[in-house]
Amino acid sequence: MKYLFIIAVAIISLSSCQQQKIAYLDNGKVINDYQEKIDMEARYKVQMEAYQKNRDSIGRAFQAEVADYNAKEKTLSEKKKREWGQQLGQKQQRLQQQLQFEEQKISKDYQTEIDTLISKVKTFVTGYGKKNGYTYILGTSENNASVMYGKDEFDITEAVSKAINAAYKPAEAETTETETTQAESAKEEQ
With cut-offs at 50, 70 and 90, classify the pLDDT of residue 11: low
Predicted pLDDT of residue 131: 95
Residue 8 included in any domain: no
Is residue 2 situated within a structural domain?
no
Return the number of other C-beta atoms located less than 10 Å from residue 12's C-beta. 10
Does 96 fall in a domain? Answer: yes
Does residue 28 carry a pLDDT above 80?
yes
Taking 50 as the threshold, does the pLDDT of residue 187 lie above it?
Answer: no
Tell me how many domains the chain contains. Answer: 1
| 72 vs 4, residue with greater confidence | 72
Give domain status of residue 9, yes or no: no
Mean pLDDT of 13-22: 65
- Kindly report, residue by residue over 86-127, the tens digit of the pLDDT: 999 999 999 999 999 999 999 999 999 999 999 999 999 999
The domain that holds 106 is classified in CATH as 3.30.910.20
What percentage of the chain's residues is helix, strand, coil (to nearest 5)? 80, 5, 15
7 domain-assigned: no
The answer to whether 21 touches 130, Cβ cutoff 8 Å, is no
* Spatial contact of 140 and 24, defined as CB atoms under 8 Å apart: yes
The residue type found at 61 is A
Confirm if 146 and 139 have CB atoms less than 8 A apart: yes
pLDDT value, residue 172: 61
What pLDDT does 115 receive?
96
Nearest CA-CA partner of 85 in 97, 94, 73, 98:
73
CA 27, CA 115: separation in Å to the nearest integer? 14
- Stretch 34-43: mean pLDDT, rounded? 96
pLDDT tens-place string over residues 116-142: 999 999 999 999 999 999 999 998 888
- In sequence order, the β-bridge partners of residue 25 are 139
Structural domain contains residue 87:
yes
Helix, strand or coil, per DSSP, at residue 24: strand
Mean pLDDT, rounded, of the chain: 84
Q: Give the residue with greater pLDDT, 16 vs 157.
A: 157
Is residue 124 situated within a structural domain?
yes
Distance between CA atoms of residues 35 and 165, nearest Å: 6
Give the H or E element holding residue 51.
helix 35-72
Sign of CA dihedral 85, 88, 93, 96: negative
- The model's confidence at residue 148, banded by pLDDT at 50, 70 and 90, is confident
User: Whole domain around residue 158: which residue ranges?
Assistant: 19-182
Residues 46-84: tens digit of each pLDDT: 999 999 999 999 999 999 999 999 998 889 899 998 999
Report yes or no on 14 lying in a domain: no
Tell whether the model's pLDDT for residue 182 goes beyond 70: no
Whole-number Å distance between alpha carbons of 105 and 186: 25
- Confidence band of 147 (pLDDT split at 50, 70, 90): confident
